[in-house]
Structure 1
Amino acid sequence: MSCSKKRRDKFEVIVTALTTGSEAWWQSKNGPEWVREQDNYRVTFWWRDPAGTQTTSDVKRVWLYITGVTDHHRNARPQSLERIPDTDVWQWQGAFSPEWRGSYCFIPSVHEHVFADAVFEGEQPERMALREGWQKLLAYAVSDPLNSQSWRGGRGHAVSALEMPEAPVQPGWNRPDTPYKKPVCIEWKSNRLRNRRRVWIFTTGEEGSERPLAVLLDGQFWAESMPVWSALTALTDDGKLPPAVYVLIDVIDTAHRSRELPCNPDFWLAVQEELLPRVKTTASFSDRADRTVVAGQSFGGLASLYAGLNWPQRFGCVLSQSGSYWWPHRGGQRDGLLIEQLRTGDKTARGLRIVLEAGRNEPLIFRANQAIYAELQHTQQPVIWRQVDGGHDALCWRGGLTQGLMTLWQPLIH
């Protein structure tokens, strides 16, 4: 074989490997790809149509739901990937900051038009129409098959992770293989609330009556969708968290969550009068308020601060992430209940230690958190305020959860 023919054959192999949509081309993909462009990264998302090209597939749209970028929290117009003609390749590009972190999913649709016209009319989408459109679509969401970092999100649909190169370290989550004590799962039948639910009791370190206590809301998520056990154990082994008792409370379902978490005194009375005494029969812990953290996200973030302000003698440390302080005024045209109470001088308990965290890409919640932070500063509460380069997203919350626990329990670390 001549040298020229060898070179030509080699060239043809390379061209085949680089042909967009070829098997070799797809094998080279491992999820989104990015390149640095000045101060940001330009990220390309890929989705492979299992039915092939436009001549063999009925797919008309592949909606891209990126938390804090294309979702209803951002009030952004819906985005769809575009098919590269005559291939099974769909793609979308967008700019992301170097520290950005968030989840995303794809929603293939055989329908061209899914959202109401109000979503695309005017300068900004009509918020409720946008929210309703996404709620319908998310039931059909799929994770990125090219991305190994995928899980089932808080709303029940599959999502995948995207983290830019300079995203902050998330304490403990880089040690997923750390061995841990198996949590105990009990059923709590509440007489006050007239319902029953699962509760997970997780312990780290040596047993003792002075171990601090953390109450984690939306417990089913941290127990099943994104298990927190290895991260907490790793941080305890490293001396960054004290030996502790963690109580993870299931929300039962969306209806119960929406009723019990937003400023509901019966829920917190039931926790104190019924649940915690029962937990103590399984794992001993301290009753001191300054050793007790209540932590939550979204409605759970609202509930955490509500618990601290109303029962500071029991819940002395508050970790609130993306707290829904707009409640009960979803449109954000009026201040939420807790903001109004703090402004008028109600519920100004002293001695709380508070960590507030919200994402810059969840505008309504971010503004509400800034507002309550401003009011808390007038009550002489020690408040730590953190801004996250992300959205309303558990992928951000998981790092804030462990970091917040480390911050609030720092005086207990020797």
Structure 2
Amino acid sequence: MLNTRVACAILWLSSVFLTGSAQERILESGKTHHGSIAASNEVDSLELTLSPEDFVRGSVAGDEMVLWLVDGDQRRVRRLAAGIGSRQAFMFVAGEKGPYSLQVSGPVGQSYTVQLRDVVPLADQSPPANPLASPTLRKLKKHLASGGDTSDFWEKMQQQGTPLVETTNVEPPLDATEALITFLWRGAKRNVRLFGAPSGDHDELARLPGSDIWYRSYRVPKTARIDYRLAPDVPQFDGTATEQRRAILATAQRDPFNPRHEPTKTVDIYDGVSIVELPDAPDPIWTTPNPSLPTGTVKTYRLTSQILGNTRDIHLYRTAGYRPDSPENAIVVTFDGDQYLNEIKLPLIFDNLVAAGKIPPTAAIMICNPSQQRRSAELPCNDNFARFIADELMPWVNEQDIHAARERTVIVGASFGGLASAFLGLKHPEIFGNVMSQSGSFWWAPGGFEAKGNVESQWLTRQYVTAPLQPVHYYLDVGTFETPSEILPCTRHLRDVLQAKGYDVKYNEFVGGHGYFYWRYSLADGIIHLLGASQNADQ
């Protein structure tokens, strides 16, 4: 008799192993269970049919309802709902210790609903396929699925040129100001990367299944003007992150289906960059030669610095009709002199600006770098380099019979040069009344690239915060593609700091990335703003 009572007690206890009485029901995927808590400490148990690694989503509705996940040993393994709010969502991944069940509890008399929204088996857990935004590639995908090949497609690309630019039937639909640009490569074995991507990074192209087509699409403003290279089968090896990133240079080359490139005369397929201009790209009026206009002169000198202990080229440009004694004269000082002379084409731009009456007669001093290593050491906020500019270069410029008031003197540079321009504006406002930065590297802090991420960035911006206000005007120019490098957000931050300090700041974002190709088209706007204003003020 005693044994029978013990057995009955054990059976009763097992039925309420966790708390209270339990009622067993089966809840299947996509189904809903309705119930109510009839008595104190009552627990409803809902059995689940799951396999290991199943992804489960659902919800419980009802005030103060508590929901537990219980394993095959009748142990609570996870609280899915804590009794907060009238509707609580849950999700979990099934483990190895099934069969699992849901345990529902709450206030006496409370009605509730448990919905098992879905159960996704492990075999069905895969990333969604990226939809093809390009209508041309969607049509081609169907053609391939029906047994066709890519020969007609590539023949068409050979005729019309790449990249592919589309404005209709794009998915999802484009804004009225956007176009879809798709970069293409034929026949790589392992990978293709895009050097100069609109994302600002070295993006991977995807392969269209069952074909020799590699592609990557971007939604960009119709005003975009882009230079780029494509790198097929970039080597992958055991190296640092920087070494692996730079390996793109081993195969980067011009787009073989794009006839537009710079320079126009190249020595091999790896030389230069491919160019694409979208339909609404601004007319390059200031970079277009006009044989009917007078041209300025350029002379190259060698200048030795006692402060820096080196010698460099200085390209000295004077606009046509430049008169040394004119009080209207302006001076523009640039870094990276060879690049501003040959890639940005400063003399051509200034010839056009002066002829159009946009700026006064101007002398440009283009400072070259003794070496790439010296550039990296001298341009980023270097006190000795600032002394060289103020105490050696500018007196030498005056000796060449070139003079201008500080209000008509501009210091301009790009990248590290843009950083140096803003540094010179802070250190020597008595010389430079105007600063133009093109994609300035304002992320910089002492230690440079090696210290990036390990020290507080934006060193120069912090100097401006504590420095007294000076009578200097600023033109900050940066590309919309320059987010990964931090140049875009850091330039915006400097703009905000300068404006808060009370500086006169003109800020411009161009559609593009980091390179002299882009800076060529934005230089004129900055110079017109800084020197055109001073010219108009005198009239």
Q: Same fold (TM over 0.5)?
A: yes
Q: Which of 196, 200, 225 is the aligned partner of 1:101?
A: 225
Q: Which residue of 2 aligns with 1:80?
A: 205
Q: Which residue of 2 aligns with 1:322?
A: 439
Q: 1:150·1:160 contact (CA, 8 Å) conserved in 2?
A: yes
The percentage of aligned residue pairs carrying the same residue is 27
Structure 2 residue runs without a partner (length 5+):
1-148, 265-269, 446-450
Q: How far apart in 2 are the matches of 1:407 and 1:384? A: 8
| 1:3-402 equivalent positions in 2, closer than 5 A | 19-22=152-155, 25=156, 27-36=158-167, 37=170, 38-39=174-175, 40-47=178-185, 59-69=189-199, 71=201, 78-80=203-205, 82=207, 90-109=214-233, 111=235, 113=236, 129=241, 131-145=242-256, 146-151=258-263, 158-175=272-289, 180-209=295-324, 210=327, 211-282=329-400, 284-328=401-445, 330-331=452-453, 334-343=456-465, 345-346=466-467, 348-363=468-483, 364-402=486-524
Q: Which deviates further from its counterpart, 207-216 or 257-266?
A: 207-216
RMSD: 3.0
Q: Displacement, 1:342?
A: 2.1
Structure 2 CA distance for partners of 1:218 and 1:68, relative to 1, 3 Å: farther
2-side partners of 1:262 and 1:219: how far apart?
16
Offset, 1:18: 7.9
Q: Which one-letter code corresponds to 2:375 in the other structure? A: R
Counterpart residue number, 2:535: 412
Pair member with larger Rg: 2
Residues 71-127 of structure 1: CA deviation (Å, up to 9, x unaligned): 26xxxxx3136478676x65443322223333211123364x4697xxxxxxxxxxx
One-letter code aligned to 2:524 = T
Q: Give deviations 1:372-395, integer Å, cap 9, x for gaps.
A: 112112322111111222222333
Identify, as 1 or 2, the structure richer in strand. Answer: 2
TM-score, normalised to structure 2, is 0.61
Q: Secondary structure at the match of 2:422?
A: helix
Structure 1 residue 222: Cα displacement: 1.6
Aligned to 2:63: none
Amino acid at match of 1:390: G
- Of stretches 207-216 and 401-410 in structure 1, the one that deviates more from structure 2 is 207-216
The 1-side partners of 2:345 and 2:427 are apart by: 30
Offset, 1:21: 3.3
Q: What is the SS of the residue equivalent to 2:218? A: strand
After superposition, give the CA deviation of every residue in 1:344-363 in whole Å (9 maximum; x if it has no partner).
x22x3421011112223212
Q: Which moved more, 1:302-311 or 1:27-36?
A: 27-36
Q: Which has the higher contact order (CA 8 A, sep 6+)?
A: 1
Shift of 1:28: 0.9
Aligned residues of 1:176 and 1:231 also touching (Cα < 8 A): no
Tell me by how many angstroms 1:169 deviates: 4.3
Do the aligned residues in 2 keep the contact of 1:244 with 1:285 (CA within 8 Å)? no
CA contact (8 A) 1:216 1:246 kept: yes
Residues 207-246 of structure 1: CA deviation (Å, up to 9, x unaligned): 2233210011111112223422222211211111221001
Hey, what's the Cα distance between the residues in 2 that align with 1:247 and 1:208? 16
For residue 263 of structure 1, report the CA deviation from its aligned partner: 0.8
Equivalent residues of 1:188, 1:198 under 8 A apart: yes
Partner-residue secondary structure (3-state), 1:166: coil
Give the deviation of 1:179 after TM superposition.
Answer: 6.2
Distance 2:277 2:361 in 1: 30
Question: CA distance change for structure 1 residues 30 and 107 in 2, over 3 Å: closer, same or farther?
Answer: same
SS in 1 for 2:287: coil
Task: Output one character per residue of 1:281-308: Cα deviation in whole Å (capped at 9) or x when no partner.
Answer: 44x3324111100001111111101101
Instruction: Give the C-alpha shift of residue 139 in structure 1.
Output: 4.6
Unaligned regions of 5+ residues in structure 1, if any? 1-15, 73-77, 117-127
How many positions carry a matched residue from both structures?
365
Alpha-carbon separation, structure 2, partners of 1:31 and 1:326: 35
Letter in 2 for 1:147: P
CA distance in 1, matches of 2:489, 2:150: 49
Change (3 A) 1:82 1:183: farther
Q: CA deviation at 1:175?
A: 3.4
Please, what TM-score do these two structures have when normalized by structure 1? Answer: 0.78
Instruction: Specify whether residues 94 and 370 from structure 1 end up closer, same or farther in structure 2 by C-alpha distance, changes over 3 A only.
Output: closer
> Residue 143 of structure 1 contacts residue 150 of structure 1 at CA under 8 Å; is this kept in 2?
no
